[in-house]
Chain A
């Protein structure tokens, strides 16, 4: 089945550590996205990538980094510079014809 796989689902991090969240898709979509969701809030765009080897900052990129070396993969690194990283992180890709976003199951990061 086609879809988006995120890992890990749950992650605990000590302050000062970098962590990387994995996102893999087999939908053959060009564009991929990372969103952050905090309790009671909507989704906020961290980074997005329209094609391989290209990515753009979203609304809250500070403290995060990404890479897009392959069409299928769009990992997100949460760096120690992110002051409040505890959140639910969602990876998505978009169908070019309809604009529908397909989401992974999410990764919940908790800073201890």
Chain B
């Protein structure tokens, strides 16, 4: 069973701070990594995907991948109350074709 682990939170940060969300995965051969945001009662929406080691930036969001340590993180700069949501990490393990394995998600609360 391929696993993706996330701290369930809630992670509370003040408005304007940097929120750091972490995710570890068990399959060393995983190739594709995704961060989804899910508001309560809604379906997940893609924030970022990353395939290569290092950082990938998109606006206030930065995804960081370290395959040797088998973790992927998401940084949210200048956090806003509208960023309050559950953040789901997803991974495509090797030999899974195009099936994603999801973590349980981290609840983020941004306090104004």
- The answer to whether B49 and A43 have CB atoms under 8 Å apart is no
A103 contacts across to B, CB distance below 8 A = 43-45
For residue A19, CB closer than 8 A to chain B, the reply is no
Stretch at the interface among B58-66, B69-77, B100-108: B100-108
Q: Does B88 contact A (CB under 8 A)?
A: yes
**Those of A60-112 within 8 Å (CB) of chain B:** 90, 94, 96, 98-101, 103-106, 108
Determine chain A's interface SS by DSSP, over half rule.
loop
Closest partner residue, chain A, to B100 (CB atom): A101
Query: Is there a chain A Cβ closer than 8 Å to B99's Cβ?
Result: yes
Contact indicator B32/A43 (Cβ below 8 Å)? no
Contact status A31-B98, CB under 8 Å: yes
- Chain B hits for A48, CB < 8 A: 99
B104 touches which one: A40, A58, A98, A101 (CB < 8 A)?
A40
A43 touches which one: B41, B88, B97 (CB < 8 A)?
Answer: B88
B105 touches A42 (CB 8 A): yes
Contacts of A35 in B (CB 8 A): 102
Count how many chain A residues have C-beta atoms less than 8 Å from C-beta atoms of the other chain.
24
Q: A58-B99, A99-B49, A103-B45 are in contact. List 17 more A-B contacts (CB 8 A).
A: A35-B102, A42-B88, A42-B102, A42-B103, A42-B105, A43-B88, A43-B102, A48-B99, A50-B97, A90-B44, A99-B34, A100-B34, A100-B49, A101-B34, A101-B46, A103-B44, A105-B43
Binding site for A on B (CB under 8 A): 4, 8, 32, 34, 36, 41-46, 49, 88, 90, 92, 97-100, 102-105
CB within 8 Å of B: which residues of A?
A: 31, 33, 35, 40-45, 48, 50, 58, 90, 94, 96, 98-101, 103-106, 108
Q: Lowest 7 A-B CB distances belong to which pairs? A: A103-B43, A42-B102, A42-B104, A43-B102, A99-B32, A106-B43, A94-B98
